[in-house]
């Protein structure tokens, strides 16, 4: 009789058990509501999920706590998504506790409602709302008090078939705030109350873990300072956009905004002020691009934008609009945000490869930096606005490639040669300009041989004219001399730039550069085939002791003999790490001593005659 009194007392609406232990679940209500809305779709309550071992029991039967704990552990172990986990809990309550139904309610603060999803033994699924202002409803009472409520009927659910079923309502709280509520029916609630508490706490923890994982994933996709997409996510989205553009035959433009003077701002005003400038730029760009366009933080002081279905001209217009918007923004102590460099690259016009597209966009940014500002507005540069082989553009490309080499293993020389092979040569003058730039870029690997190729070309042309060669042949020698050392592109720098004497093995590596130049640069380009003899044989010697083919005397093409003398002369008068450059007189003396042995005797005589007029301070 005493026990019946206790049960009777528990079944009153106003009674409650001690406060449920609070979880620490930082759940996102809206995200969880979306997940709960799929609960019950296609559900079969007798289908066992989560690896549960079920034992059908009669109501009021004894519960094996160990087996119940094993079932809970299996749910945790097999947890993949919230829908399957809720199904597993439902099956657990149905089979272990002989419940009439289970339900989960998610609090929607914006709508001030509790969204309920209920499943009963008959495979029926009910979805309904309870309003937060319905203070007489037992669900609202549980939420308002953050305590468990036991009711002797289920009229608060407004489900006619469940009206007379006793129920337990367990709020799940996080840091004092209710996030959801678990509900179950049971004629033996008093004996099972600890199991409900344990199961509800476990459910809360699983919901918390799911939410935390979602937040971590979202965090990795978003930049904490700007609230734009992160650099990693930018690459993922760009890949998707390029794939879509490829299938739809449309264009995609990439804009990169580089905030200039950030180092100075950080130094003079502190990093917090620098962060403020970055946030202003990010916010204004994000607010003023189209809905389907994508803004991301590309680097420390760089913001990138992906413009779908946008060509270079349209992208430049958008960049002009954005820079104008930014120029109207004032930051305390800094003034208007108008010092930006902007680069644009467009798919597929500039490149069909994602990494190359970004390299070209970064190159355009650096070209923009050199152009400065006009009328207080940033200069905007598209890859289609400049000649790749222009000194500024080429130096910018080298800078980007040096950085990319460490990131992606992309080699500057390799990328340069590829650009060269893909160049659309329009005229002989264009060819000379491109070859000159290519040779200069290769020479730049060694500061002691800077301008070596152009100097050798100048000396070779002078000697060709001194012996009255036709102008067409002189032009061929000019180009061949420019490219005579192009094969050094394939020589390791530790060998090429070694300041001391080379070992025999290292010298054998160096001897490969004429053949490398022919195979890698000249043969793939039909316009350069007539330069092959010059590049391949300029290290042959008159006495047959040269390389790579040990030709001798007049077996060596005349153009190659001319370039060989010019090459040696410039090497003699240039400063090297181990000695200062020789004077003209001493250099000519060395050439004279080698005439008829290393070089063509008559050509040496002609060159010595013109050498004083070629004197240039190196």
Relative orientation angle of helices 189-221 and 29-36, to the nearest 10 degrees: 120
- What does the block give as tokens for 515? 């053949």
Task: Report the distance separating Cα 261 and Cα 375, nearest Å.
Answer: 18
Residue 169 pairs with which residues in a beta bridge? 149, 183
The separation between CA 248 and the C-alpha centre of its own chain, rounded to angstroms, equals 23
For the chain, the first-to-last Cα distance in angstroms comes to: 113
Please report the pLDDT score of residue 319 as a whole number: 93
Token couple for 314? 């349209």
Within 97-188, where are the H helices? 138-145
pLDDT tens-digit series, residues 237-279: 999 999 999 999 999 999 999 988 888 888 888 888 888 889 9
Residue 103 · residue 157 · CB < 8 Å = yes
Tell me which residue of 381, 388, 345, 378 sits closest to 365, measured CA to CA: 381
Q: Kindly report the CA angle at 189 between 184 and 193, in degrees rounded to 5?
A: 90
Q: How far apart are CA 491 and CA 497, in angstroms?
A: 10
How do residues 483-529 score in pLDDT, each as one tens digit? 898 888 777 767 776 767 778 888 888 888 898 888 888 888 888 89
Q: In what order do the strands lie in the sheet with 294-299?
A: 294-299, 302-308, 252-259, 340-347, 380-382
Q: What is the pLDDT of residue 461?
A: 94
Strands 340-347 and 380-382: parallel
Residue-range domains of the chain with CATH? 2-219 (3.30.450.40), 222-409 (3.30.70.270), 411-618 (1.10.3210.10)
Does residue 453 contact residue 440 with C-beta atoms inside 8 Å? yes
Write down the pLDDT at residue 172. 80
Torsion of CA 451, 457, 459, 465, to 10 degrees: -160
Q: Rounded to the nearest 10 degrees, how much is the dihedral formed by the CA atoms of 442, 444, 445, 451?
A: 80
Low-confidence ranges of the chain (pLDDT < 50): 1-60, 617-618
CA distances, 351 to each of 103, 252, 419 (Å): 56, 11, 11
pLDDT at 343: 92
Alpha helices in 308-353 (DSSP H): 312-327
User: 474: part of which helix (H) or strand (E)?
Assistant: helix 471-482
β-strand 252-259 against 294-299: which pairing, if any?
A: unpaired
CB 279 within 8 A of CB 262: no
List residues bridging with 502 in a β-sheet.
none
* Beta pairing class for 167-174 and 177-185: antiparallel
What is the per-residue pLDDT across 407-443, written as a single tens digit (0 to 9) for each? 555 566 667 777 777 777 777 777 777 777 777 777 7
Residue 346 near residue 252, CB atoms below 8 Å: yes
Token pair in block for residue 546: 């040269």
> What is the DSSP secondary structure assignment for residue 487, as one 8-state letter?
G
Q: What is the pTM of this model?
A: 0.52
The answer to whether the CB of 240 falls within 8 A of the CB of 252 is no
């Amino acid at each position: 009789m005493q026990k019946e009194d206790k049960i009777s007392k528990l079944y009153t609406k106003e009674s409650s058990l001690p406060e449920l232990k609070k979880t620490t679940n930082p759940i996102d209500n809206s995200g969880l509501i979306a997940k709960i809305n799929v609960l019950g779709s296609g559900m079969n309550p007798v289908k066992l999920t989560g690896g549960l071992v079920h034992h059908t029991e009669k109501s009021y039967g004894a519960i094996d706590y160990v087996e119940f704990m094993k079932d809970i552990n299996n749910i945790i172990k097999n947890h993949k998504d919230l829908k399957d986990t809720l199904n597993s809990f439902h099956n657990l309550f149905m089979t272990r506790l002989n419940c009439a139904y289970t339900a989960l309610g998610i609090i929607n603060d914006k709508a001030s409602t509790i969204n309920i999803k209920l499943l009963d033994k008959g495979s029926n699924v009910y979805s309904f709302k309870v309003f937060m202002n319905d203070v007489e409803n037992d669900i609202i009472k549980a939420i308002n008090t953050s305590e468990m409520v036991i009711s002797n009927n289920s009229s608060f659910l407004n489900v006619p078939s469940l009206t007379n079923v006793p129920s337990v309502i367990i709020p799940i709280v996080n840091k004092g705030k209710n996030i959801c509520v678990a509900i179950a029916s049971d004629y033996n609630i008093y004996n099972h109350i600890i199991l409900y508490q344990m199961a509800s706490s476990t459910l809360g923890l699983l919901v918390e873990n799911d939410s935390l994982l979602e937040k971590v994933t979202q965090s990795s996709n978003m930049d904490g300072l700007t609230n734009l997409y992160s650099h990693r996510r930018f690459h993922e989205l760009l890949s998707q956009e390029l794939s879509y553009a490829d299938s739809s035959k449309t264009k995609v433009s990439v804009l990169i905004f580089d905030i200039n003077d950030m180092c100075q701002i950080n130094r003079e005003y502190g990093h917090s002020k620098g962060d403020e400038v970055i946030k202003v730029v990010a916010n204004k760009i994000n607010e003023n691009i189209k809905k389907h366009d994508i803004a991301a933080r590309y680097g420390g002081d760089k913001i990138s934008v992906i413009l779908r279905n946008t060509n270079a001209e349209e992208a430049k217009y958008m960049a002009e609009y954005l820079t104008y918007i930014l120029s109207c923004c004032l930051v305390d102590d800094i003034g208007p945000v108008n010092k930006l460099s902007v680069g644009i690259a467009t798919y597929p016009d500039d490149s069909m490869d994602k990494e190359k597209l970004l390299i070209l966009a970064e190159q355009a940014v650096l070209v923009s930096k050199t152009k400065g500002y006009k009328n207080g507005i940033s200069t905007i540069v598209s890859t289609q606005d400049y000649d790749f082989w222009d000194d500024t553009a080429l130096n910018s490309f080298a800078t980007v490639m040096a950085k990319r080499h460490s990131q992606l293993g992309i080699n500057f020389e390799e990328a340069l040669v590829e650009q060269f092979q893909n160049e659309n040569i329009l005229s002989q003058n264009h060819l000379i300009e491109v070859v000159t730039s290519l040779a200069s870029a290769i020479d730049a690997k060694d500061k002691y041989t800077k301008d070596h190729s152009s100097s050798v070309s100048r000396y070779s042309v002078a000697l060709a004219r001194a012996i009255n060669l036709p102008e067409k042949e002189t032009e061929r020698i000019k180009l061949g001399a420019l490219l005579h050392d192009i094969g050094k592109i394939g020589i390791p720098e530790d060998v090429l730039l070694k300041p001391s004497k080379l070992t025999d093995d290292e010298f054998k590596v160096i001897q490969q550069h004429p053949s490398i130049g022919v195979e890698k640069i000249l043969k793939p380009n039909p316009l350069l085939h007539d330069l092959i003899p010059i590049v391949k044989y300029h290290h042959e010697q008159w006495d047959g002791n040269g390389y790579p083919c040990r030709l001798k005397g007049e077996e060596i093409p005349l153009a190659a003999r001319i370039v060989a003398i010019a090459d040696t002369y410039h090497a003699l008068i240039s400063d090297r790490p181990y000695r200062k450059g020789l004077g003209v007189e001493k250099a000519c003396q060395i050439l004279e001593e080698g005439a008829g042995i290393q070089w063509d005797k008559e050509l040496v005589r002609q060159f010595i005659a013109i050498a004083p007029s070629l004197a240039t301070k190196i």
